[in-house]
């Protein structure tokens, strides 16, 4: 197939490009490089099946020739990006998704919208099932990301219903692996970077809040299964193994053989207290389950961090 991937130079987008090329597809990677890193694609730039287009998805997306699939992964997603690019994040969720859907419609292609567990906000239902509508502060300090993704889901379903565009929506839960930005600002990169330097590991709040971490290979296998399925409603993809942030910090420190101490700071406003996906839909209808256990995934991730931090 001939496939477009927006956000192709990002953590998830670049891994997706790898998997699609490995299956023999022709891939057009689109990225503005505002937060994406071209280094993530250096190893495929000589691949005759790959072409990179530097373009901002909030502008018209021009890709000559036919397309069979559009994976819409473009969006700054790090908490550090929220205060830096709040309006742009909202524009990507609205205009970027509109342009990706318009591209899919024009080409007669199927489009997958990369959504997020953040649409559930600080959830009052646990674990989070796709039928839960969420608990989101629409004007909070994280609202630009949460609401951009919620709007993108609404726009995707509206295009599907009104214009008969073939669409899929994946709700991605916490994912980790090689190529995460060292300055990402999320739990795992923060912990690894501090632990590998023997610096204090900072936990916001008392560490009792939970996360559920999915290795990148597992996530993308599930996403590709979803793309080729007939499921047009949102589907959770993530690892349901839940761990407290404090326990996770201790795991990272032990893995890094670090002398780091743990320090505690005030929990940011609207930070989710619990996060765990209900993956019954993916298990039942896609036959998907995560395969990589956290110990193995963290080992692979640590090796990548050590190599890049030298």
91 Cβ neighbours under 8 A, 6+ residues apart: 58
DSSP per residue, 203-220: EESSS--EEE-EEHHHHH
- Of 120, 145, 159, 176, the active-site residue reads 145
What is the arrangement of strands in the sheet containing 69-72, beginning at the earlier edge strand? 50-54, 26-31, 2-6, 69-72, 110-116, 167-172, 235-237
Q: How many angstroms separate the most distant Cα atoms in the chain? A: 58
The residue among 234, 2, 172 whose CA lies nearest residue 103 is 2
Burial of residue 91 (CB within 10 Å: 0-12, 13-18, 19+) is buried
What tokens were used for 237?
A: 């993809």
Distances (CA, A) of 192 to 186, 187, 219: 10, 9, 21
Catalytic (active site) residue 145: yes
What are the catalytic residues?
145
């Amino acid at each position: 197939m001939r496939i477009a991937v927006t956000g192709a130079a990002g953590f998830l987008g670049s891994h997706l490009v790898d998997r699609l090329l490995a299956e023999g597809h022709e891939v057009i990677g689109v990225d503005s490089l505002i937060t994406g890193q071209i280094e993530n694609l250096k190893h495929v730039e000589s691949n005759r099946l790959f072409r990179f287009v530097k373009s901002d998805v909030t502008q018209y997306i021009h890709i000559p020739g036919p397309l069979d699939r559009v994976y819409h992964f473009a969006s700054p997603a790090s908490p550090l990006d929220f205060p830096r690019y709040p309006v742009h994040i909202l524009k990507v969720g609205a205009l970027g998704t509109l342009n990706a859907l318009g591209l899919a419609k024009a080409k007669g292609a199927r489009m997958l919208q990369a959504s997020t567990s953040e649409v559930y906000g600080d959830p009052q239902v646990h674990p989070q099932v796709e039928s839960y509508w969420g608990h989101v502060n629409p004007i909070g300090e994280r609202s630009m990301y949460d609401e951009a993704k919620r709007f993108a889901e609404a726009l995707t379903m509206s295009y599907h219903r009104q214009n008969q565009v073939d669409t899929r929506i994946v709700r991605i839960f916490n994912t980790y692996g090689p190529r995460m930005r060292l300055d990402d600002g999320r739990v795992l990169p923060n912990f690894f970077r501090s632990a590998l330097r023997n610096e204090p590991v900072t936990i916001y709040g008392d560490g009792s809040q939970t996360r559920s971490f999915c290795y990148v290979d597992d996530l993308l296998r599930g996403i590709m299964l979803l793309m080729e399925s007939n499921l047009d409603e949102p589907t959770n993809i993530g690892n349901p193994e839940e761990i407290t942030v404090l326990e996770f910090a201790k795991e990272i420190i032990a893995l890094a053989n670090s002398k780091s101490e743990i320090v505690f700071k005030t929990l940011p406003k609207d930070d989710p207290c619990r996060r765990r996906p209900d993956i019954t839909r993916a298990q039942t209808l896609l036959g998907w389950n995560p395969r990589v256990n956290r110990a193995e995934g963290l080992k692979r991730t640590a090796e990548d961090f050590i190599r890049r931090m030298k």
